[in-house]
Amino acid sequence: MIVAKFGGSGVTSTNLNRIKKIVLNNPDIKHVVVSAVGKQNNAEKKVTDMLIEYSRSYDKKILRKIVEAYLAIKEKYDLKTDIEKIINKSLSNSKNYAYLVSRGEYFSALMVSELLDFTFVDTKNLVKFKADGRLDMENSSALIAKTLSKIQHSVLTGFYGSDPFGRITLFSRGGSDITGALVSDAVDAVIYENWTDVNGFLTANPQKVLNPKTIECMSYGQLAKLNRIGADVLHPMTVLPLVKKSIPLNIRNIFNPTHSGTLITRVANKNGLLAATSFEAVYSVFDKIIPIKNFENLKFYNAETITRTLSEKPIQKIKSVFETPAEYIQVVYYGKYNTDEIIEKLGKIFFLSKGDNTLSLITERGNSTVQTVYDYFSKI
């Protein structure tokens, strides 16, 4: 049995036919978890973002936009659910933030369940949070297992559950990934397919590096490691429910469904370069010239932190002189390499630290800095 989770980019009027095809072509997919409608095009916002705005303003124009996103689905797929009435009613009758923001997943699951002719399942009373706000994994797994044992095919709402008092509780953003993992654990799935809009996990950000590759496989631990260095295809908590039963997680692309994506299991991938990340940073030397004790050990921090931490005046003066735009690069690599060669290629390095198969360095920002580091590790 397969559990498939579809992110918001699939749950749009334009792309839902892809989900339909993927699910109906594979009889092993029994349970489907969906996100709220994602961006229809670059100009649009995700429905969850619209709901967050709506929960603050109760602006009728935003409500209309949300209705339109779901009406487009209803019309294109000729669905019967009176989604306009359901949306208007649920968004007008509550002022509760979590309830309002959770409705995107609720509306999506209603529409997708009709589209696939699968049973609609609300996770409100199945995904449980403890009084302190943490996920109650065991209880949730047991409740989901009990409910789904009586249902052959279902579409479940991602992203939310409820606390011990029955109040809707949200995961942090991107949390439908965790719902999918919980469902996979509960039904003993042979695989958890997480369908996104990229060919799995890439070895680098394609906006910074030319033609990065898909990481074909890695371990749960390696995924956590990549999350720590800022590579964030999935919610960082996604693997927790999967580890106990070693359920494989397969990241796939709805736009390229024959691509095998990234497979995450217990087995680590220790063949050279796993991935590289990079972030813009600011290197500052002013800790050396301003004798403030707390800052003695700081080698870099971003401009925002500096302005928040110290009084405005001296900083602005110093900032322009002593701050250098920098790039914070981290590489996960299995094998031997020579840091001297990297230093030679980059020229200016402010900070370099090696450990636990991860190299972290801060270098002066340049057009191809990340590419240089990436190329070095790809070619060893």
Residue 102 or 369 having the CB closest to ligand ASP: 102
Question: What is the Cα–Cα distance from 71 to 125, expressed in whole angstroms?
Answer: 27
When asked if residue 176 is in the footprint of ligand ASP (CB under 6 A), the reply is yes
Minimum CB separation of residue 11 from ligand ASP in Å reads: 9
Residues 46-85 that bind ligand ASP (CB under 6 A): 46, 48
CB atoms within 10 A of CB 297: 7
Give the containing element (helix H, strand E) for 280.
Answer: strand 272-284
Pick from 66, 133, 78: nearest CA to 105: 66
When asked if residue 173 is in the footprint of ligand ASP (CB under 6 A), the reply is yes
Residues 104-143 that bind ligand ASP (CB under 6 A): 104
Minimum CB separation of residue 197 from ligand ASP in Å reads: 12
Residues 92-111 that bind ligand ASP (CB under 6 A): 104
Pick from 58, 269, 241: nearest CA to 161: 241
SS3 annotation, 31-94: EEEECCCCCCCCCCCCHHHHHHHHHHHCCHHHHHHHHHHHHHHHHHCCCCCCHHHHHHHHHHCC
Tokens of 357: 């198969």
Residue 73 or 217 having the CB closest to ligand ASP: 73
Pick from 188, 231, 252, 230: nearest CA to 1: 188
The residue from 10, 161, 175, 241 that contacts ligand ASP (CB under 6 A) is 175
The residue from 9, 15, 35, 194 that contacts ligand ASP (CB under 6 A) is 35
When asked if residue 248 is in the footprint of ligand ASP (CB under 6 A), the reply is no
Which of these segments, 168-176, 196-204, 209-217, 248-256, binds ligand ASP (CB under 6 A)? 168-176
When asked if residue 31 is in the footprint of ligand ASP (CB under 6 A), the reply is no
Name the DSSP letter for residue 10. Answer: T
Residue 104 or 261 having the CB closest to ligand ASP: 104
Residue 175 or 241 having the CB closest to ligand ASP: 175
Tokens of 358: 């991860």
- Residues of the shown chain interacting with ligand ASP in the complex, contacts defined by CB under 6 A: 7-8, 35-36, 46, 48, 104, 158-159, 173-176
